[in-house]
Structure 1
Amino acid sequence: MSLNKPLCISLLAFLVAGCSTVGPLFKGGKGRKTAPSAQVAETPAVPVGQESCTPQADDLLSLPDVDPDGVRVVEQPCIEVRKNRPTILFGETESAHIRIPGRYNDPFPSSGELVVRLEEMKDEFCYPYDGKLISPFGRRGRSMHTGVDIKAVPNDTIRAAFPGVVRLSKYYSGYGNAIVVRHYNGIETVYAHQSKNLVRVNDVVEAGQPIGLAGRTGRATTEHLHFELRVAGEPVNPTMLIDTEKRDLCVDNTLYCYNRGGRIRVATRPLAVGESPVSTSTAYAAAAPASSVPATKPSVAAESPSAFQYHYVQKGETLSHIAKRYSTTVAKLCSLNGLNTKSILQIKQRLRVK
């Protein structure tokens, strides 16, 4: 026993010292585990011609690229999310229709005048789709085209023009798959005919964020984006907002929006009381480019009454018939008589035509 005691002590010491080796052997390991050495994460190289999408300001976050379908890779530009946005939450009433009751969609202050300076929005704007304009805002025969159409590649990415909150996202009659985004200044943009919507009601979106895939759902004969601008539900000529040739924001424009007794007017210059813009915001007359808005408007009092010409409405006549008869436009008739194209004409009603 005296000879075995030192041997047992030596064997015990050997087993204690070799625990880190014995463990892996019994667990099927191939050798001793060593403490991992400290590693420095390498920053992946940025390809030539591409810039980093890392926000510089402390109050900005970066949105990751997301492919909602898992079908196609969406090339997403740098998108910055600004904190401290106003909270907007829509219910069933607000998300039911593109045009909703005024009490649910009133961006105007108590003065009834809203001024939107586009130059201040240039840092948070993205052209919704980089395609060719194929149909402008304005009349199409007897109907009204309330937006602009931009030709698109099937299933290409449609992006939000400005930051905001999705108010409507669903299949909506002739619009097909439609999306309405309420922006933080109260105006709204509409995107229609998508093959698929990528956002839902109450989703917060940033300028440039993918919201849909281009398609031809609804009443459409080709893949395109139907894009609208609306103020208090009334469609406004989008070319007041975007330059469809340069595919950029009209930063030199300021939108002067008025709510006068429930009648919405928008122009790129201040309007006098009772004055209607040449490029009407109500979308009820033929649109004219913003640059065609005259600097001043002749005073009615300065015109000679003898130069006026009137027409008395006959049974079955419309504004279009009357405009054609007197070689004028529906827009001019509406302006001279305080009407819009939805006004109901009465037999023997006197209309000023010149």
Structure 2
Amino acid sequence: MTEHARLQPQPIPFIDVAAQRRAMGEKLDQALARVTGHCQFILGPEVRELESELAAFCGAKRTVTCASGTDALSLVLMAHRIGPGDAVICPSFTFCATAEVVALHRATPVFADIDEGTFNISVESAAQAVETAKKQGLTPRAIIPVDLFGLPADHAAIAALAKAEGLFVLDDAAQGFGGTYRGKRLGGTGLATATATSFFPAKPLGCYGDGGAIFTDDDELAATLISLRVHGHGADKYDNVRIGLTSRLDTLQAAVLREKLTLFPDEILSRDRGAARYAEGLKDVVTVPSVPEGYSSVWAQYTIRIPAGTREKFAAALKAEGVPTAIYYPIPLHRQVAYKDFPSAGNGLPVSDRVADEVISLPMHAYLDAPTQDRVIDAVRRAVKG
């Protein structure tokens, strides 16, 4: 080994999927073997079992799985026949899929700003977005709050706005599934018309490929979603009663998720402990995230804020110590090429613009042990002070 290699610090995983795989042990191998044994690879029994278990976990009446988190959002919009002339209110500070599905259905995403303390949609700005849509001759039909970085949005305030304006609420819980709002898990009864989540491998509850799910208390909506995910079928696959698509969760992925779901409650607690440790070690040198009373986060990302203009140097200093970082999100949607011509609320989205220059995320997962986390904390402190 060269002297240079000996001096190089061992890189820390940003998300340690391998550690979780080791925790599942032979149970995962056995679950996959059952699927390869019965060979029902499309909508096999594990899919139905997973849907039941997910509903029980979060308190939803119905769960419909699908091929991805993006499809989960899209299917709900399809079921509600969102289309040209319709406006859907979305936060600008989020991943593009939230607004992408609206545009794909030829409706208009109208961007709202976020709350600076939570990074989630500002209900005041969302109300302005509704008025902006009306002024442009659009019909406001829905609002898509995002439970960003694992923290639930303010669902009571969103529900009040939706009721006042005649909107349906499609909660984007791609990062937040497992979090709680006023004692209810996201996806549970009464929080939204429908809740969509993603099982992308990096999510707190992720599979080994793409996958998603929709939670709802509306039996009619669930039945429509089940039809839409398989080409809009009716009584059978050759009786097509609506235009649909192919968006089924593979049985193998359902088997993976069933095993991961057994670990998920303990993993949520572990993530919360890790977040508390970060906060204690960093609160005097950076702006750490906070969780409002009555909420709980699953900490899909642990995102801090540092002064604008310092992020590149900060990330390089951590990288030199083997500590990876990520930026969610460097450019708000209303400033991206594909979305800049869609309307925004009021006179602009200053909070989204500001935090996009300040945020940076640190390693976070359920298997982040204390010595490794101390190494991250020490590196952050040195980078800030140096």
Q: TM-score, normalised by structure 1?
A: 0.24
Question: Relative contact order (alpha carbons < 8 A, sep ≥ 6): 1 or 2 greater?
Answer: 2
Larger radius of gyration: 1
Structure that is richer in helix per residue: 2
- Relative to the length of structure 2, the TM-score reads 0.22
